[in-house]
Amino acid sequence: MLLAADYDRLPELLRSDCVHDYPQSGERIRGIANIRAVFEQYPGGLGGQDRDSLRVTGDTERWAMAPNFTLIRSSGAAGSYTSAMRARYPDGSEWYVISMYELVDGRQTRATFFFAQVFEAPEWRRPYTENVAGS
């Protein structure tokens, strides 16, 4: 997650023709200016957190972008990658965010994001499952 102070660095991370797709809502966000506007206009923002309260911690197996996002898994090669994150939104709700993205020369050229809210497992499935909450 970028801080407002980092938005000017988006060209270092994204190609100018980068496209973000949100299939669940049918939206396509084209270009750095529009991607930046979506980040800046997000309701609730980062909750007034300052740069010192946001940090990346962990090791090569698991790391967190504290306090809002935790990377669960990232994999890929040859410019095509997938990541799964657990996110806490400003309203306190918890979601999983799956992204499939492509990099060209180290910068993102395309990304597709899927959002799924955390929910309780139904009672009828419990005899057949294991509890892996928090993964």
Classify strands 14-22 and 107-117 as parallel, antiparallel or unpaired. Answer: parallel
Cis before 43 (ω within 30) = no
The confidence score (pLDDT) of residue 3 equals 57
Q: Is the pLDDT of residue 47 over 70?
A: no
Which alpha helices (H) appear in 1-135, and where do they start and end? 10-13, 32-41
% of the chain with per-residue pLDDT over 90: 59
Q: Are 46 and 1 in contact (CB under 8 A)?
A: yes
pLDDT by residue (tens digit) across 73-110?
Answer: 999 999 999 999 998 887 888 999 999 999 999 999 99
pLDDT of res. 65: 46
For the cut 50, the answer to whether the pLDDT of residue 130 exceeds it is: yes
The yes/no answer on whether domain 4-120 falls in CATH 3.10.580.10 is no
Predicted confidence at residue 83, as pLDDT, reads: 96
Q: Decide which of 51 and 115 is more confident.
A: 115
- Distance in angstroms (rounded) separating the CA atoms of residues 54 and 65: 7
pTM of the model: 0.76
The stretch 31-60 carries a mean pLDDT of: 64
Cα distance between residue 112 and residue 18, in whole Å: 11
